[in-house]
Amino acid sequence: MNKAAAASRYAFKVIVHKLCVGWFCFKAGLYWRGIVHDMSKFHPKEFLENVKFYDPLQSPVNLAKKEYGWSPAWQHHKGMNSHHHEYWIDDIDHGVKLIRMPFEDALELVCDGLGASIAYNWRIEGLYQNEWNWWKSNAMKKARMHPHTRAFIHSMFKAMHESNSSEGLSYDLAKHEYQRLLAAYEDVPVSCPMEDCIWKEPETAEEKAFWGE
């Protein structure tokens, strides 16, 4: 594929992604975030690499990592976009600390997941079930997130899965759930060492009910 074709197809995919995520952000009351979401993908540091490695079936970031061992575009992207949980990792020189994501960043992350599912899979049918399955089988246990952030993301996807709708994206409902979970995790610092923040299997009946189906 020549560079002009790759550039046009990649730009089209980014625009579709932005529109899909923007739609969910507007439902969530995150109007400005819905407009500016992922604008850094048009920055030369990201756009040029992603065009070079453009593949309609694979992530250009993953392909760049295979060739370079890392992705300069991804390093730039996660540093420019606070809705990525990787943005909230600090103190690398002292064992790594995971920082609790602020509410609007965490809510935009949920919108990002939903919008990406539509944009990259070209499928709306079964969206909430598919996103829930992806979360449960992949990111829930593997992602390096502050415990409160993990619980909030989990609760949002679980609610949409159970209702088969995006009603839970309401700004007020989501904020209430965020605050409720703050109380549940009040003994966990805003930032905590990686070893204290990794996924732990639920033990009590209440924990199993929350993290289960």
Give the whole-angstrom CA distance, residue 184 versus residue 198.
17
Instruction: Please state the separation of Cα 199 from the chain's center in Å.
Output: 17
Does residue 12 have a pLDDT over 70?
yes
DSSP E strands, the chain: 89-90, 97-99, 191-193
Residue 97, strand partner residues: 90, 193
Does residue 213 have a pLDDT over 70?
no
Tell me the mean pLDDT in the region 58-70: 93
Does residue 212 have a pLDDT over 80?
no
Give pTM, 2 decimals. 0.92
Tell me the mean pLDDT in the region 156-172: 93
Does residue 164 have a pLDDT over 70?
yes
pLDDT band at 192 (very low <50, low <70, confident <90, very high): confident
The pLDDT tens digits for 91-139 are 877 778 999 999 999 999 999 999 988 888 777 888 999 899 889 888 8
Contact criterion met (CB below 8 Å) for 124 and 175: no
Contact criterion met (CB below 8 Å) for 85 and 101: yes
- Please state at what angle helix 171-184 crosses helix 147-163, rounded to 10 degrees: 130
- Ramachandran assignment for 142, one of left (phi > 0), alpha (psi -120 to 50 degrees), beta (any other): alpha
